[in-house]
Structure 1
Amino acid sequence: MGVRCHISIGACALFLLVVAEIAHCANSSLHLHSPCVERERQALVKFKESLNDPLNLLSSWQGIHCCQWEGISCDDVTGRIVKLDLTTSFERCQRSQPFRDHYNFWETYEFEWKLFGGNPIPMFIGSMQQLRYLSLSNAGFVGKIPKSLGNLTNLHFLDLSGNEFSPPLNINLISELRLLEHLDMGNVYFGQAHNLLQPVSINLTGAPKLRCLGLAGNGLTESALDALQNMTSLVHLDLSHNNLISFPSWSVNFKKLESLDLSWCGLFGSIPKCNFH
């Protein structure tokens, strides 16, 4: 039927990550002998001290050259931090032999929580106004999303997936991130915020460049998804692992959509003809 609706939002994330890494590698030689901005370095040190890190995954976070620390990238001119990615530490942990030997699948989540979890997102992140890439995926953060994240007006990539935030979720901050291209809120505990998508849809109109949206594993239903029907500028949409019964009929109007992930949603019935790229 010409339907190609199964590619994950990960394709968009991978593309943006590759672009970021290429830029970082091209400029990394300029930072070999240059320290980063001191107030940002001190903020990262305090952040590290507030975390649990039994495997010492942030062992590179020492010295004055924070632009070369694990998960950190800086602007080649100003030295300001433009990328903070804790995901790399988790990936390195999961690849390690001790981790595979001592922790099975069911213990993984609890173990990661002990590594970095149980803390709110630190307020200081909102002061790093040059950040273009922020990934706190599966870092086990709790509490409220700080309003200070709305100060990160240069963000192109924001991944808050896999955390347990308490309502209210401060979704309004999204409308302030007008350069945002990728937003992943998958597998986020929303508490009693059953009407989350309504404010999300309203406030994403303030992010005109948004192309990739991840809402996997949030217990969403068809009626909740109606709030997304006007977001026709999306290119990648991940709705996998939600409580859907039928294929969203409005998706046929998403002419720019290149990938739509509806895996593990319990769908049955016919699939409407779609003209995705």
Structure 2
Amino acid sequence: MTHLCKPPARSVLASLDFGCGSITRGYLHGSCIESEKQALLIFKKALIDNSNYLSSWVGDDCCAWQGIGCDNITNHVTRLELQYGFLSGKIHPSLLDLKYLTHLDLSSNSFDGIQIPEFFGSFKNLIYLNLNYSNFEGLVPHHLGNLSNLQYLDLSNYDYSWDLRLKMDSMSCLSKLSWLKYLDLSGVNLSSVIDWFSSVNMLSTSISVLHLSNCHLSNNISSHLPSMNLISLVSLQLRFIDETIFIVVKHIESISHIFQTYYTILLLTSITIHQ
């Protein structure tokens, strides 16, 4: 068994369960599904793998390959976790043949110049989607709002040059993710989003972790924070915003941890709100 699913970084998230655990390889109960193996090989062919990260992708049993996790009864591929693979190139829609996929992690790769594929919104069983530090560009597709079972979404794309290449023009699609517990949009340009407050507020019964660092929200976030009804929130991360947020945010009584950076000086502050 291999541990592939990267857990949330901070201890405050320890109690949240996104199904990140041991992957039981399908070869314990037989070979993988042939159509899914072919889909993965087509996906591999479209990638640029200069580090030979996918060198194990040979042989009949795709469940034994690097980054692949299968259900140990049905042998369907349920996890595709290729973080830190230094992969680039294109993401082929052959992945749509992985109909039982629950975890997709392409974080810390180099998909420079391409958009997050719209077809990612078709993985109906997905509960975990991590695309951070993968250098995607352009608009985040609204189709992600179709992932009705999603609990973890990380699109963070840190770029301290303030030239944010990944952007959203609306967050209304996210308001449909009623099971979402973890949302990280750090480094995603939200300057054109006018519905961010209402969309986030609609996640009030589910969201526990919200990271909006360096999102170009500095001009309008202060007035909204006191009215946010995030009853499940335990962690809020805000960076590169006005210092007045530090005062206003204390009105959100459910928050137990606040991390704030003031412009280019790192000021990590933790506050516990006692009810």
Larger RCO (CA under 8 A, 6+ residues apart): 1
Report the secondary structure of 2:230's partner residue: coil
Deviations 1:68-99 (A, max 9, x none): 54444444555555444443435xxxxxxxxx
2:174 alignment counterpart: 174
2:151 alignment counterpart: 156
2:44 alignment counterpart: 48
2:252 alignment counterpart: 254
Show the 5 A alignment for 1:182-201: 182-188=182-188, 190=189, 193-196=190-193, 198-201=194-197
Deviations 1:129-160 (A, max 9, x none): 11111111111112322233222211111111
2:53 alignment counterpart: 57
Q: Relative to structure 1, is the Cα distance of residues 124 and 195 closer, same or farther in structure 2, using a 3 angstrom cutoff?
A: closer
The reply on whether 1:118 has 2:102 as its aligned counterpart is no
Is the contact made by 1:156 and 1:179 (CA closer than 8 Å) also made in structure 2? yes
Q: Relative to structure 1, is the Cα distance of residues 154 and 116 closer, same or farther in structure 2, using a 3 angstrom cutoff?
A: same
Deviations 1:107-141 (A, max 9, x none): xxxxx77x432222233322321111111111111
Structure 2 residues not aligned, in runs of 5+: 1-7, 87-107, 159-164
Q: How many Å separate the matches in 2 of 1:247 and 1:185?
A: 18
The count of residues paired between Structure 1 and Structure 2 equals 235
More strand by share: 2
One-letter identity of the residue aligned with 1:186: S
Report the secondary structure of 1:218's partner residue: coil
Is the contact made by 1:180 and 1:209 (CA closer than 8 Å) also made in structure 2? yes
Show the 5 A alignment for 1:1-277: 10-12=10-12, 16=16, 20-22=19-21, 24-25=22-23, 28-29=24-25, 31-36=27-32, 40-63=36-59, 65-76=61-72, 79-89=75-85, 115-162=110-157, 164-168=165-169, 170-188=170-188, 190=189, 193-196=190-193, 198-207=194-203, 208-221=205-218, 223-229=220-226, 230-233=228-231, 234-240=233-239, 242-265=240-263, 275-276=273-274
Q: How many Å separate the matches in 2 of 1:63 and 1:15?
A: 38
2:102 alignment counterpart: none
One-letter identity of the residue aligned with 2:248: W
Q: C-alpha root-mean-square deviation of aligned residues, in Å?
A: 3.6
Q: Normalising by the residue count of structure 2, what TM-score does the alignment of the two structures yield? A: 0.68
1:5 alignment counterpart: none
Q: How many Å separate the matches in 1 of 2:116 and 2:122?
A: 13
Report the secondary structure of 2:261's partner residue: coil
Is the contact made by 1:120 and 1:144 (CA closer than 8 Å) also made in structure 2? yes
Q: How many Å separate the matches in 2 of 1:176 and 1:256?
A: 22
Q: Relative to structure 1, is the Cα distance of residues 179 and 139 closer, same or farther in structure 2, using a 3 angstrom cutoff?
A: same
Q: Normalising by the residue count of structure 1, what TM-score does the alignment of the two structures yield? A: 0.68
Measure how far apart 1:177 and its partner are: 1.4
Report the secondary structure of 1:238's partner residue: strand
> What percentage of aligned pairs have identical amino acids?
29
More helix by share: 1
- Runs of 4+ in structure 1 deviating by more than 6 angstroms, as ranges, are none
One-letter identity of the residue aligned with 1:260: I
Q: How many Å separate the matches in 2 of 1:37 and 1:236?
A: 40
